[in-house]
Structure 1
Amino acid sequence: MNEKRILLAEDDLISATLLQESLASLGYQVTLAEDGRKAKELFLENQFPIVITDYDMPDVNGIELIDFLKEEEVEPIIIVLTNNSETSIIIDIMRRGIYDYIVKPIEAEELSLKLQRAFEIHNIRKLEKVAKREREMRLESHLDWIKWKEKIGGSGKFKNLNQNLFESLKTSFNQGTGFGALVSLLKIVSDSAEIEGDFYKIDTEIMGLIKTNAEMAEKALYTFSEIDEILNGKIELETISLINLYHEIKNVTNEMSNLLDIQKNYLYLSEKKSSFDQNKINIHKKYFIMALKEILTNACKFSIPESSIHIVMYIEAKSLVISVYNSPIKNSDRTEGIPLEFENMIFEPFFRLTKFVYDDYKTLDFGLGLTKVESIIKRFDGKIEIKNIIDHLYAKSQPKTKVICRISIPLVIENGI
C-alpha cells in the first residue's frame, strides 16, 4: 500500500474524519494527525508519499509543517487546505514549493484528480532520485568495470559474449518470420510443388506464407538501409526548443495506447519545467521520434504486465536528459533486465537477450532496433545507455530492479554562454 498512503494533518476532527472516509472509498490509506506536531512525528516514523495539511492549525501550523517536510531527504508531495482565498496567502503558500492547494469546502472530484496526478509526480521524482543515486554508484565502479573487461579480453568469458552475439545472429535469421522462414518455405516448395508445363503448382497457403515472410525480410533490409543512411547519409538537423520537443514527446505518448493495451501498461510523462522555454537542441525530428518510439515499444514488450513506464525529461550538465524507466520481466535465464556484461552488447546488430518473437507488437525482432536508436542519437552528438538500476529508496520495501534507458543530447550554446 506504499503507493496509496496519505498523511492528513487537520485539527477539525469532523472534517478530517469525513475526508478520510471519502479518500478511503477511492482506495487510499489515510493516516490522521490532529495537528502539525503530530504530523511531524508520524512522518518521521514512516515517510508518506503525499501529505495533505490544513493551513490553520494550533501549535505547529501548516506553514511550519511545510518547512519541516521540505527539509526531509525524501520530500513528499504537499497539498494545502485553506479557508482563505486571499491572493497574498495563496502566493505565500505556493512560493514554498508545494504541489497544490484547495480552498475549502473541498470538492471530492477536484481532490481526487489532484491526488491522482500527485502520485504520478511522486513516482517520477522517486525514479529521478533512484537514478541519481545509481549514477553515483556507477561512477565509483566504472574503473572496476574497465579493468574487468581488460582482464577477460582474451579469456573464455569474453569469447562467450561474442558467441552470444553470433547465436543471436543465427537465431534472428532462422527463427520466426523473415529470412529463416523463407528458407524453410522455399525448401517445402522445392520438395512438394508439382510441375505443370512451364510452371510450378504451389499450395495457396504456402504461397501466402512466402509473401508474408518476404515482406518481413524486405522490412529487415529496409532497416539496414535506414541505419546506413543514418550513419553515412546527409542529415539536416534543426534547432528545436525543449518546450516544443516536450509537446512532440507528449504526442508520441498519446499514440502508444494500442501497444500499452496489450499488457495493460501505463505510460507517464514528467511535468514541464520552466527551463524548457529558454533552451534548445539540434535534432532531426523524424529520426528522434523514430528512436523514441523504438525505446517505448521495447519498454512495453519487456515490462511486467500492468506496470508503469515513466518518461522523465530534465536538464543536466548543459544537456537535455530523457530517461525511460520500466519494470522488466525476467529473462529466460531468470535474470532481470540488462545484465551488466551485456550493457554494451545490446546495441550490436542482431544481439538479442531473448529469443522470443513478439507478434502482437508488429516488430521485426531481428535485434536491429537499438542499433538504429544508437545510430540516431549519435548523429545528434548525444549518448545513450540502457542498464539496470536498483530501487531501494524505501528501506521497508524490498528493492526492485528497473531498467533505465538514458539519452543525453547537448544543449545549443548561444553567444558563447
Structure 2
Amino acid sequence: MINKVLIVEDSKTTRLILRRMLEKEAYAIYEAANGIEAINIFPKDKPDVVILDLNMPGMDGIQTINEIKKIDASIPVIVVTSQGDMSTAVETMKLGAYDFLVKPVEAGKLIVTVKRAIEKLYLQKEISSLHESVDKSLEWTLGSSNAMKKVIEQIKQVAQSDFSIIIQGETGTGKTFVANIIHNLSKRSNKPFIKIDLSAIPETLVESELFGYEKGAFTGAIVNKSGFLKIADGGTILIDELENLSPMVQSKLLSVVENMTIYPLGSKKPITVDVRIIAATNKDIKSNVIEKKFRDDLFYRLGEFIISLPPLRSRVEDIPFFAKKFIIDACSELNKGILDIDEDTIEILKRHTWPGNLRELKNVLRRAVLFSNEGRIKSEHLKFLIEDKEYISYNDLYPIMPLKDAISSLEKKLIMKALEIYNWNKTKVSAALQIDHKTLNTKIKEYQINNHGNNSQ
C-alpha cells in the first residue's frame, strides 16, 4: 500500500524540495499552499502524515494543526520551522504535533521522521482495532448494557496491572467468570489460574489449603503439601467467599499480600511467591469492615481495585441476549435443533427478579429447552416459572390505582419489611432505607405500623 503525505507550505520552492525528497521513497504526495487549502484536502484525500509549515499567511500553522486535530487527531503532524520559531514549535507539540524539523530540512532526517510517524499511526490503529475486538468479545460474554459496559471498561483498565482486586456481586452474577477474564487478559495469562472456594472448605482446613504444610505439622500430615498460594505462583489466585476468612487466616493473608511470602504449617522457613490475588464476595465487604468482622488493613490491600457486578434485574436489557445464548448452549447439550423464543416469553423473563441471576436464567432456559418439542420456546414452557409466587401477573400485583397511592403502598411495604428484618432496630432500618431517624418515626406513625412487642431503638 502506498502511503500518502500532505505537504502544507506557502513556498512553492520548499514544497518542490520536500516533494522530491519524499517521492524517492514512493510516497503519494499532496500539496497545499496554505492552511485553508490543507483543511479542504485533508478529509478528502486522508493522508497518513502531514508536513506543516508554521509561518504561513492567513491561517498559520498553529491554527491549521488545531483544525486538523478536530478532523482526525490520530494523523501525525510534522511541523517545519525556522531556527527562531523554536518556542512556537514546542507549543505545537503540546497541541499534538508528532515532531518538528528545523529549516533547512535534511533529506535523511525528513525520511526517517516520516517513516516513524507512519509506523506509529499503524501501531495506534492496530491497538485501537485490538481494543475494539476485546470490547466486542467481552460484550458477547458479559452483555452490552450500560451497566456492563462500565464493568468491561474497568476490566480493561485493571487487567494488565498487578493490582489486587475485590469483585463484589450477588450469587450467580459471574464473579468467577470475570476473574478468569481478567487473568486471561493479564501478563500472567500463561500461568496458573487457581480458585479456592472458602465456603466449600471446613474452617479448620482453610489455613493448610491456602499455605500448605510440612510433613509432621499435624496428625495425618505424612508428606509435604503445597498450598494453593504456592500452586498459583506466577499466576492468579481467586479467593471466593472472602467474607468467610477467619481472623487468624486474615492476619496471615495480610502478610502474603504485603511481603509475598508464605509460611506452610509446621515450617519456620518463608517461601517467596509471585501471585496476583483476586477476591470475590457476595456481601458488601465494606459493611463487614465497619462491623469489625473483616480487617480494614487487609481490605485496603486486597481492594486496590473494586469491581461491583450488577444483578440481572438491574440490566434487563441484557436478558434477551443471554436468553438466546443460553438456549443455543442448551440445544447443543441436549442435541436439539436451535430453538427460537417468543417475544411474550422474553417479557416473562424480563419481569422476574432473578435472585439467582445469570446462573438461574441459564438453568431455567435449559429446562425450557428440555420441555420444548415445537421448535420454539413459549410461555407454556415456563409454566413452572410462572406458577412461582414471584411471577404473579402485573394485573394482580399492581392493580390500577392513583400513582400517589401506589407509591405510598410500596413505601409502607418496604418500611414494614425492613422493620421485620432488623427486628425493629430503627437505627439499622434508617441506615438500610437511607433516611434519618426522625423521618422513619414520622412514616411509621403516618402508615400506622404497629410494633408487635419488639423493642424499637
Q: What TM-score do you get using the length of structure 1 for normalisation?
A: 0.34
Q: What TM-score do you get using the length of structure 2 for normalisation?
A: 0.31
Which structure has more relative contact order (CA 8 Å, sep 6+)? It is 1
Rg larger in structure: 2
